[in-house]
Amino acid sequence: MKKIIILLLVFLIPGLISCNKSSVEKPNFIIIFTDDQGYADLGCYGAKGFTTPNLDNMAKEGMRFTNFYVASPACSPSRAALLTGSYPVRVGVPTVLYPVSPTGLDSSEITIAEILKRQGYTTACVGKWHVGDHPTMMPTNQGFDEYFGIPYSNDMWPWRHDYKKEKPRSELYPDLPLYLNNKIIERNPDQNQIIKRYTEYAVQFIEKNKNKPFFLYLPHTMPHVPLGVSEKFEGKTTYGRYGDVIEEIDWSVGKILNTLRKNNLDHKTLVIFTTDNGPWLTYGNHAGKAFPLREGKGTTFEGGMRVPCIMRWTDNIPAGLVNHEMATTMDFLPTIAYLAGSQPPKDRVIDGKDIWSLMSGDADQKTPHEVLFYHWPSELQAVRSGPWKLHFPHQHRHQAGPPGKDGNPAGQIDASIGLSLFNLEEDIGERNNLAEKYPHIVQKLTDLADTHLKDITENSRTPLEISDINWRRYKDKLSEGDFITDWWLIGPFDNTNRKGIEKVYLPEKEFAPKNTYPGRNNKMVSWWEYDGKSDEYISLAKLFNPSDEGVVYARRLFNLKNKTVVKIGLGTNDGVKMWVNGKLVHEDIAARTAMPNEDILSVSFNKGENVVLLKIDQLGGGWGFYFSIIDGLNQLE
């Protein structure tokens, strides 16, 4: 009798264990990842002014999460975390990347796609990549067999946020490329068709691979500004253009789910829908809502990092459940690895956890996360454990005045928060500071933060920087010219309380290297010679810190053989205005790093000695400039 019982156990126990895992040996995986969609921007999360019937039905057929997080409140770091299962600061992508970035998601990182390829999966990325556009960082070098999409944000093009392209073309960014695998097939594609085109490609990929395991990563470009929506959906909602875009994304989800049904793939395919961060509130009616959460994109308040998430897998995820446990996009990698019969990398720290027990509907299961950390960009600004969230003192963006309208952003102010403790179960809007009432909880969370920072310091993975300096220029117009890197610099001078009047300082009138002048805060400053032979970028870091305000002058002599018009290219950071010989040539443009030849101007030079005087007014956020001679170099002596 004992032998019979033992034999029964031998055969039954593996079965009992395996029932915790899907019965599908190699399920398919689809991750749909939208851009800047708010917590309240789905019908099942309380959306108003538009409807999302396909996503609402997906929630009815699957599971909806209410405490789901991304690892960063902005595009690039959020994507890096999803792909690697690690905090963005750990993998060296803490902030937004721009075209021709010298860094990004290093090729040594192991992505979800790479894990699945080793298990025999066919993989595709369709949409916005945005973790580095150097060839070594693009999808086909990060585990994806196919790529169709735009390599970074859709506002990084010559018309910025102008979806109608009515404003004059700017040279701030190059033409927006649309890639098919490793080739650019179009420049400045019609953004009104981009959701439709992504969807068509995704459906074709599913159809083509229906008889073998596949992974489809669909990071939509929308609803990031400028908003693009096809004629079929334009003007459909009372919310306006943003609502129209969300309804087209909902249509796209419906097309994908219908393709699975048609091919009997429902029970074989895990579909996840979520978004990369909260809404970009400064765009007003071209942005979403995070209600009842506080703030939005670019902040570590709940509105910036808590996002909607729906998971559906017929016969494997119970239908109609709402999960209130804490989970994150970093959990995708270890969970998907487990379900595919693999495991996460063991030679590095992975911050995500296997959450299959939460997804499979076990009512007794709790979050595997004791603690969650909120970084932006590299600063640890907050920490959550259980219901408690502690903000450390930090600055954050805040929409103080009227919101933006019709694609034009409103101004934002730098607000600040002191040490603040919130109970998110009772105060989801983070309004009632309990730090003084519960000092022991403050201390506990502070200790967890200290341990985390030590771990990040000891176990971070710094990406290699692209050494080819030519990569740091655009391959067309921005690669032209010869860079001038030797200047005389002086500053900083005070630029506060000017009330619109541009103050002239003594160095603008004379050049005397031995003289000193009263600078900012009445500190005496003098000219010093800058020789930047090792870099084309003129750094002002010696004069002031990146966040400082102030005015700096740069002066140089040019000797010409004949009178001629010289074509000059300039580039500088956000938060900077620049004059050349008294003429304002560069207005402050928010949210981008310096690139060569953003501003092109022609300057008339006389025969003989000529002086070029640059005035750089740093409003906070900038710290250098590029200067190149594009045309007229043959006249220089």
**Cα of 7 vs its chain's centroid, Å:** 55
Domain end among 459, 492, 517 = 459
Active site residue 19: no
Select the highest-mean-pLDDT range: 360-364, 502-506, 526-530.
526-530
- pLDDT class of 288 with cuts at 50, 70, 90: very high
Claim to verify: residue 382 and residue 482 sit in the same structural domain: no
pLDDT of 194 strictly over 70: yes
Q: Could you give the 3-state DSSP secondary structure of residue 8?
A: helix
Q: What is the pLDDT of residue 481?
A: 65
- Residues 199 and 248: beta-carbon distance below 8 Å: no
Range of the domain at 628: 477-635
- pLDDT > 90 fraction of the chain, expressed in percent and rounded: 62
What's the whole-model pTM score? 0.78
Active site residue 267: no
Q: What is the pLDDT of residue 621?
A: 56
Q: Where are the beta strands (DSSP E) in 168-240?
A: 177-180, 183-187, 214-219
Token pair in block for residue 505? 């300082």
- pLDDT class of 32 with cuts at 50, 70, 90: very high
Range of weakest confidence among 28-32, 41-45, 299-303, 595-599: 595-599
- Residues 127 and 228: beta-carbon distance below 8 Å: no
pLDDT of 119 strictly over 90: yes
* Mean pLDDT score, 163-168: 76
Q: One of 125, 130, 286, 586 is an active-site residue; which one?
A: 130
pLDDT of 498 strictly over 70: no
- pLDDT class of 362 with cuts at 50, 70, 90: confident
- pLDDT class of 98 with cuts at 50, 70, 90: confident
Range of weakest confidence among 38-52, 389-403, 463-477: 463-477
Q: What is the pLDDT of residue 28?
A: 98
Q: What is the pLDDT of residue 547?
A: 63
Model confidence pLDDT, tens digit, residues 382-431 = 999 999 999 999 999 898 888 899 998 887 788 999 999 999 999 999 99
Is 6 within the bounds of a domain?
A: no
Is 16 within the bounds of a domain?
A: no
- pLDDT class of 4 with cuts at 50, 70, 90: very low
The set of residues, in sequence order, having a beta carbon less than 8 Å from that of 175 and lying 6+ positions away, is: 157, 158, 187, 188, 476
CA angle 254, 155, 592 (to 5 degrees): 140
Is 469 within the bounds of a domain?
A: no
Domain count of the chain? 2
Token pair in block for residue 296? 């939005």
* CA 560/CA 484 separation, integer angstroms: 15
Question: What CATH number has the domain bearing residue 75?
Answer: 3.40.720.10
Is 472 within the bounds of a domain?
A: no
Is 21 within the bounds of a domain?
A: no
Is 328 within the bounds of a domain?
A: yes
CA distances from 145 to 138, 148, 304, 376 (A): 11, 11, 32, 32
- pLDDT class of 497 with cuts at 50, 70, 90: low
* CA 613/CA 386 separation, integer angstroms: 58
Claim to verify: residue 44 and residue 105 sit in the same structural domain: yes
The set of residues, in sequence order, having a beta carbon less than 8 Å from that of 386 and lying 6+ positions away, is: none
Q: What is the pLDDT of residue 475?
A: 41
Which run of H or E residues covers position 491?
A: strand 486-493
Domain end among 426, 459, 492 = 459
Model confidence pLDDT, tens digit, residues 203-259 = 999 999 999 999 999 999 999 999 999 999 999 999 999 999 999 999 999 999 999
Q: How many CB atoms lie within 10 A of CB 509?
A: 8
pLDDT of 534 strictly over 70: no
Q: What is the pLDDT of residue 363?
A: 75
Model confidence pLDDT, tens digit, residues 212-226 = 999 999 999 999 999
Residue 36 has phi, psi (to 5 degrees) of 70, 30
Q: How many CB atoms lie within 10 A of CB 589?
A: 17
- pLDDT class of 472 with cuts at 50, 70, 90: low
CB crowding 469-491: b at 16 or more within 10 Å, else e: eebbbbeebbebbebbbebbbbb
- Residues 344 and 350: beta-carbon distance below 8 Å: yes
Beta-bridged to residue 65, according to DSSP, are 309, 323
Token pair in block for residue 527? 């000219």
Residue 468 has phi, psi (to 5 degrees) of -70, 110
pLDDT higher at 282 or 483: 282
Claim to verify: residue 336 and residue 295 sit in the same structural domain: yes
* CA 482/CA 489 separation, integer angstroms: 20
- Residues 147 and 124: beta-carbon distance below 8 Å: yes
* Mean pLDDT score, 525-541: 79
Q: Could you give the 3-state DSSP secondary structure of residue 221?
A: coil
Claim to verify: residue 184 and residue 239 sit in the same structural domain: yes
CA atoms within 13 A on the CB side of 408: 5
Token pair in block for residue 130? 């945005």
* CA 197/CA 150 separation, integer angstroms: 12
Domain end among 428, 459, 490 = 459
pLDDT higher at 635 or 602: 602
* Mean pLDDT score, 588-595: 58
Q: Could you give the 3-state DSSP secondary structure of residue 507?
A: helix
DSSP 408: B
Q: What is the pLDDT of residue 483?
A: 81
- Residues 327 and 69: beta-carbon distance below 8 Å: yes
Is 625 within the bounds of a domain?
A: yes
* CA 83/CA 109 separation, integer angstroms: 9
* CA 353/CA 344 separation, integer angstroms: 10
* CA 22/CA 215 separation, integer angstroms: 17
Q: What is the pLDDT of residue 411?
A: 76
Token pair in block for residue 258? 């219908």
Q: What is the pLDDT of residue 2?
A: 40
Q: One of 75, 134, 224, 394 is an active-site residue; which one?
A: 75
* CA 50/CA 555 separation, integer angstroms: 56
Give 561-621 as a 3 state SS string: CCCEEEEEEEEECCCEEEEECCEEEECCCCCCCCCCCCEEEEEEECCEEEEEEEEEEECCC
Claim to verify: residue 452 and residue 481 sit in the same structural domain: no
* CA 293/CA 307 separation, integer angstroms: 10
* CA 172/CA 174 separation, integer angstroms: 7
Range of weakest confidence among 48-62, 156-170, 210-224, 348-362: 156-170
Q: What is the pLDDT of residue 576?
A: 79
Claim to verify: residue 508 and residue 386 sit in the same structural domain: no
Claim to verify: residue 537 and residue 428 sit in the same structural domain: no
Claim to verify: residue 103 and residue 204 sit in the same structural domain: yes
The set of residues, in sequence order, having a beta carbon less than 8 Å from that of 324 and lying 6+ positions away, is: 65, 66, 67
Claim to verify: residue 360 and residue 504 sit in the same structural domain: no
Q: What is the pLDDT of residue 300?
A: 98
* Mean pLDDT score, 629-634: 72
pLDDT of 3 strictly over 80: no
Q: Could you give the 3-state DSSP secondary structure of residue 68?
A: strand
Q: Could you give the 3-state DSSP secondary structure of residue 241?
A: helix
Q: How many CB atoms lie within 10 A of CB 431?
A: 9
Residue among 496, 633, 527, 629 at smallest CA distance from 570: 629
- Residues 279 and 288: beta-carbon distance below 8 Å: yes
Q: How many CB atoms lie within 10 A of CB 389?
A: 22
How much is the mean pLDDT over the chain?
88
- Cα first-last separation, the chain: 104
DSSP 554: E
* Mean pLDDT score, 40-56: 98
With DSSP H G I counted as helix, E B as strand and the rest as coil, what are the percentages for the chain, rounded to 5?
A: 25, 25, 50
The number of helix segments (H) and strand segments (E) in the chain equals: 11, 29
Claim to verify: residue 411 and residue 499 sit in the same structural domain: no
Token pair in block for residue 552? 């700096």
Is 11 within the bounds of a domain?
A: no
Q: What is the pLDDT of residue 519?
A: 86
Q: Where are the beta strands (DSSP E) in 329-427?
A: 372-375, 380-385, 388-391, 394-398, 413-417, 420-423
Select the highest-mean-pLDDT range: 16-25, 138-147, 559-568, 574-583.
138-147
Residue among 543, 504, 538 at smallest CA distance from 626: 538
Which run of H or E residues covers position 518?
A: strand 516-518
Q: What is the pLDDT of residue 147?
A: 98
Q: What is the pLDDT of residue 102?
A: 80
pLDDT of 521 strictly over 70: yes
Claim to verify: residue 384 and residue 238 sit in the same structural domain: yes
- pLDDT class of 78 with cuts at 50, 70, 90: very high
Claim to verify: residue 356 and residue 413 sit in the same structural domain: yes
